[in-house]
Amino acid sequence: MAPVEHFVLVFAAGLLTALATGLGALPFFFFEGISDRRNVILWGLASGIMLSASTFGLVEEGLAEGTPLEIGVGLLAGIGLVVVAHDVLLDVDIEPHQYEEADFKKLVLILGILTVHSFPEGVAIGVSFADLGLEGGTEFLGVTIPLLAVFMTIAISIHNVPEGTAISIPLTSMGVPKWKLIWWAVFSSLPQPIGAVIAFGFVRYAREILPYGFGFAAGAMIYLVLTEFVPEALAIGERLPRGGKPELVGGILVGVLVMVPLAFL
């Protein structure tokens, strides 16, 4: 049985990634806005980071724990959950600029929709901590932390920054105070620490589902990249030469190049 301290540490890692989303609002303290070109690059960077984390982190670790079939089942389950959640929740079209205008009930609905996006990332953090306290990691505050957990926490934290920027852009156009931009950006990722703790509990108490957990998190994140991040970047880049595709590809390549070395530390 994992001690309470381990759950606290996993929650803290998930909270760290959520707080990183707030960093995406910081440029608006110094500039009036962010150009489409830079925005497309940021989305490409986020996509490259998540694809690297999913492939070189989750899938590779999953194959070390289980069979390709188990990973494949997990991948399909992750994709399936996101698809079903979209069908159930995303019939209601909610944009970040509506955050400020929402009452409590609307905020609960918004948080539920955000869970579709950020909960899988929390799951990825949780399963990456499966070997917390066991041999083969790095020491931190007297606890052995798996290197995969360090890799995933860094990857998702970096990935969350452009998400915070994307949330801040429409809010800025409404004249929302800059400090509130940070709050709403962090708000969008609040399901991550919750998902991390739930996933960690599952894989620690039912170790046999760990390969499925790795596949699930990877499938959900890869699907989100291909169906939301990349289309969002292309939509923003429509006014750029060649539709912003060079910026998107460049951002993806940088994201991959940044994360791949960390995967082999």
Residuewise pLDDT in 10s, the chain (265 residues): 468 888 999 999 999 999 999 998 888 887 766 788 888 888 888 888 888 888 888 888 888 888 899 999 999 998 988 787 767 655 555 566 666 665 555 556 555 666 666 778 888 898 988 887 666 667 776 778 888 888 889 888 888 887 788 778 777 767 778 888 888 888 888 889 998 999 898 888 877 888 888 898 888 888 888 888 888 888 888 888 888 899 999 989 988 888 777 666 5
Q: Show the tokens assigned to 191.
A: 């399901």
Q: Show the tokens assigned to 10.
A: 């996993």
What's residue 102's pLDDT?
Answer: 58
What's residue 14's pLDDT?
Answer: 93
Q: Show the tokens assigned to 27.
A: 């440029």
In one letter, which amino acid is 131? Answer: D
Residue 139 forms beta bridges with which residues?
144
What's residue 244's pLDDT?
Answer: 86
Tell me the CA distances in angstroms from 232 to 10, 92, 126, 135, one per residue in order.
30, 18, 27, 41
- Nearest 10 degrees: Cα torsion 50, 98, 105, 188: 20
Quickly list H helices, 66-146.
68-89, 104-128
Q: How many residues does the chain have?
A: 265
d(CA 41, CA 217): 24
CA 245 to chain centre: 23
Q: What ranges do the domains of the chain cover?
A: 4-27+34-263
What's residue 165's pLDDT?
Answer: 81
What's residue 220's pLDDT?
Answer: 85
What's residue 40's pLDDT?
Answer: 87
Please give the backbone phi and psi of residue 21, each rounded to the nearest 5 degrees, phi first.
-60, -35
